[in-house]
Amino acid sequence: MFTINIVSLLGLIAAFCTTFAFVPQAIRIIKTRHTKDLSLGMYIIFSVGVFLWLIYGFLQMDIPIMLANFVTFIFSFTILIMKLKYK
């Protein structure tokens, strides 16, 4: 049977929050096509950082890190592409 301790639960909640924090921004950009106020530098650095965390997760064979950072990378990279496209 699957059991979860408080530390793992805390990690899952943190991963959920930081991963899905990008959804409102992505939806807003898709609807408005407005990216003027977004920092290109921040999204480049953040996307690279999340990608490196994803690689780290693979190297450590840590599924929660892999999943959270894969989804986060998709969201942040999508916003980065839209920032470049709708400049």
* Longest Cα separation, the chain: 51
**pTM exceeds 0.75:** yes
pLDDT digits (tens, 9 = 90+) for 35-85: 989 999 999 999 999 999 999 999 999 888 888 999 999 999 999 999 999
What pLDDT sits at residue 1? 65
Q: Which stretches of the chain are assigned E, i.e. beta strand?
A: none
**pLDDT tens digit sequence for 1-25:** 667 788 878 888 888 998 899 899 9
pLDDT in tens, 49-60: 999 999 999 999
Q: Is 1 helix (H, G, I), strand (E, B) or coil?
A: coil
Rounded to whole angstroms, the Cα distance separating 59 from 55 reads: 6
- Can you give the residue ranges of every domain in the chain? 8-85
82 closest CA partner among 49, 42, 51, 36: 36
Q: Could you identify the residue written with the tokens 């999508």? A: 78
Q: Which CATH number fits domain 8-85: 3.40.30.10, 1.20.1280.290, 2.40.50.1070, 3.30.2310.20?
A: 1.20.1280.290
Work out the percent of the chain whose per-residue pLDDT is above 90: 54
Q: For residue 42, what are its two tokens?
A: 């921040």
| Distance in angstroms (rounded) separating the CA atoms of residues 8 and 58 | 19
